[in-house]
């Protein structure tokens, strides 16, 4: 069936989703890549190649009838669509409706239409940190870590992970079997990364100084968006070649981006684009805690007349300062994953984009998005 596969990418116009679509369009075994997104952008169709057509379809995954129509004739679904909100600015009910309810709709459609493969894009936020802010130091996919997840966004991703894994092996309408697996990225950087734009604007507003919240001993992972996308492409392909091996599995995304002190990596990315950006100093926890409380009081007082820009909240702050890192080669062992882009290439591509975009950047927009 090579050359006749039809893929569907939900959220294919988002930060990670668009890169997945771009790489899928370059695979000669794929006939069509359908992009299903609530904020569909027609320019994504320009990613079409001589062998692979990219078709953009506008729709909401909460609308099961529209989703069902879009998934007709599809063989593989890569489900990236989600409301991404690390600052608790989106009502939990709305976020759950998309991240959990939308995932239930995708799984239901797979069973009705006998689509055998579903690859779900999750997040490390689905694992932790927990409300006790217990660290995870260089864990892997088998590391035991318990407790209620701190971030509301992480709670919805954990709920979605659970139903995706429970759906693995479910019977399809044609008598076949649904196979599901999960890719779990950490912080993703690269071209069009909004958090890098925001950090750059904040640094420029502080005379080029980039301060940071993480204590010196905090460890985190960063992964380049092109490598996260490439892992999806390889996993989806090998899902078809080695279904019993990948079915029911979870994979952390990784590459050779330096692990450990994430603020140093962020500074290297920003200073590569603008050498005037300097690394500043650590902002103490107590100072940020006071600022968060003060902001909450101001919002309550002024809410009848004016609502200030959303600000960091305590769950997000606690997540930032807690060590949560992993080391793994599971994707390499299971489906031969190797980063498509090296760290120097990832850094250069990111810096070139940020430098080009710097002139048109306005004030940072802090809100949840469907991707």
Specify the pLDDT at position 310: 66
Map 137-171 to HEC letters.
Answer: EEECCCCCCCCCECCHHHHHHHHHHHHHHHHCCCE
* Among 326, 329, 296, 324, residue whose Cα is nearest residue 312: 296
Specify the pLDDT at position 224: 98
Average pLDDT over residues 324-344: 97
Who contacts 1 (Cβ-Cβ below 8 Å, separation ≥6)? Answer: 75
Residue pointed to by tokens 């950047």 = 361
Q: What is the distance between the alpha carbons of residues 63 and 34, in angstroms, rounded to a whole number? A: 17
Q: What is the distance between the alpha carbons of residues 71 and 74, in angstroms, rounded to a whole number? A: 5
Specify the pLDDT at position 340: 97
- DSSP H/E element including 9: strand 5-10
Q: What is the distance between the alpha carbons of residues 276 and 17, in angstroms, rounded to a whole number? A: 32
What whole-number percentage of the chain has pLDDT above 90? 81
Tell me which of 309 and 87 has the higher pLDDT. 87
Chain segment 27-57, per-residue pLDDT in tens:
999 999 999 999 888 889 999 999 999 999 9
Specify the pLDDT at position 284: 95
Average pLDDT over residues 223-233: 98
Who contacts 17 (Cβ-Cβ below 8 Å, separation ≥6)? Answer: 9, 10, 11, 35, 37, 78, 80, 81, 121, 371
- The string of DSSP codes covering 317-351 is HHHHHS-EEE---HHHHHH----SS-HHHHHHHHH
Domains of the chain: 5-193+223-257+326-345+364-370 (3.40.50.720)
pLDDT over 50 at 22, yes or no: yes
Quick one: pLDDT band at residue 371, thresholds 50, 70, 90?
A: low
Specify the pLDDT at position 364: 43
Q: What is the distance between the alpha carbons of residues 181 and 51, in angstroms, rounded to a whole number? A: 27
Q: CB 93: neighbour CB atoms within 10 A?
A: 7
Q: What is the distance between the alpha carbons of residues 165 and 211, in angstroms, rounded to a whole number? A: 40
Length of the chain: 371
pLDDT over 60 at 156, yes or no: yes
What whole-number percentage of the chain has pLDDT above 70? 94
- What pairs with residue 55 in β-bridges? 34
Specify the pLDDT at position 65: 95
- DSSP H/E element including 281: strand 278-282
Rg, C-alpha atoms of the chain: 21
Average pLDDT over residues 302-315: 75
Quick one: pLDDT band at residue 365, thresholds 50, 70, 90?
A: very low
Indicate the average pLDDT of the chain.
92
pLDDT over 60 at 369, yes or no: no
- In three-state secondary structure terms, 177 is strand
Active-site pick, 153, 189, 254, 337: 153
Average pLDDT over residues 65-72: 96
Q: At what angle do helices 152-167 and 102-113 cross, to 10 degrees?
A: 20
Average pLDDT over residues 308-327: 87
Specify the pLDDT at position 271: 95
Q: What is the distance between the alpha carbons of residues 122 and 119, in angstroms, rounded to a whole number? A: 10
Chain segment 194-221, per-residue pLDDT in tens:
999 999 999 999 999 999 999 999 999 9
Specify the pLDDT at position 363: 46
Specify the pLDDT at position 305: 72
- In three-state secondary structure terms, 230 is helix
Q: What pTM did the predictor assign?
A: 0.93
Q: What is the distance between the alpha carbons of residues 305 and 97, in angstroms, rounded to a whole number? A: 30
Catalytic residue check, 120: no
Chain segment 72-124, per-residue pLDDT in tens:
999 999 999 999 988 778 899 999 999 999 999 999 999 999 999 999 999 99
Specify the pLDDT at position 303: 74
- The string of DSSP codes covering 232-250 is HHHHHHHHHHSHHHHTT-E
pLDDT over 50 at 367, yes or no: no
- In three-state secondary structure terms, 220 is strand
User: Buried b vs exposed e over 34-44: b needs ≥16 C-beta within 10 Å?
Assistant: bbbbbeeeeeb
């Amino acid at each position: 069936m090579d050359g006749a596969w039809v893929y569907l990418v939900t959220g294919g116009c988002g930060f990670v989703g668009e890169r997945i679509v771009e790489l899928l369009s370059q695979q000669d075994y794929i006939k069509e890549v359908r992009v299903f997104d609530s904020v569909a952008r027609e320019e994504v169709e320009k990613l079409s190649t001589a062998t692979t057509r990219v078709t953009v379809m506008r729709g909401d995954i909460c609308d099961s009838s529209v989703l069902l129509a879009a998934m007709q004739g599809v063989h593989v679904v890569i489900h990236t669509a989600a409301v991404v909100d690390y600052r608790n600015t989106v009502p939990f009910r709305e976020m759950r409706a998309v991240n959990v309810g939308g995932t239930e709709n995708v799984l239901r459609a797979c069973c009705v239409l006998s689509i055998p493969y579903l690859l779900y894009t999750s997040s490390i936020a689905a694992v932790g940190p927990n409300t006790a802010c217990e660290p995870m130091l260089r864990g892997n996919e088998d590391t035991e870590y318990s407790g209620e997840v701190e971030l509301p966004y992480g709670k919805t991703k954990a709920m979605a992970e659970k139903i995706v894994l429970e759906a693995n092996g479910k019977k399809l309408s044609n008598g076949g079997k649904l196979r599901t697996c999960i890719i779990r990225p950490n912080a993703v950087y690269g071209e069009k990364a909004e958090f890098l734009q925001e950090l750059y604007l904040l640094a420029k507003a502080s005379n080029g100084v980039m301060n940071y919240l993480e204590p010196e001993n905090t460890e985190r992972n960063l992964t380049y968006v092109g490598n996260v996308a490439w892992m999806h492409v390889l996993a989806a392909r090998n899902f078809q070649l080695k279904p019993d091996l990948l079915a029911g599995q979870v994979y952390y995304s990784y590459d050779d981006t330096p692990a450990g002190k994430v603020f140093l990596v962020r500074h290297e990315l920003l200073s590569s684009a603008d050498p005037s950006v300097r690394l500043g100093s650590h902002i103490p926890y107590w100072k940020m805690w006071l600022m968060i409380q003060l902001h909450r009081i101001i919002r309550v007082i002024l809410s009848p007349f004016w609502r200030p820009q959303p600000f960091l909240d305590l769950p997000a702050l606690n997540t930032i300062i807690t060590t949560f890192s992993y080391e793994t080669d599971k994707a390499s062992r299971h489906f031969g994953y190797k980063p498509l882009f090296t760290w120097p290439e990832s850094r250069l591509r990111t810096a070139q984009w940020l430098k080009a975009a710097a002139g048109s950047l306005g004030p940072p927009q802090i809100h949840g998005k469907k991707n």
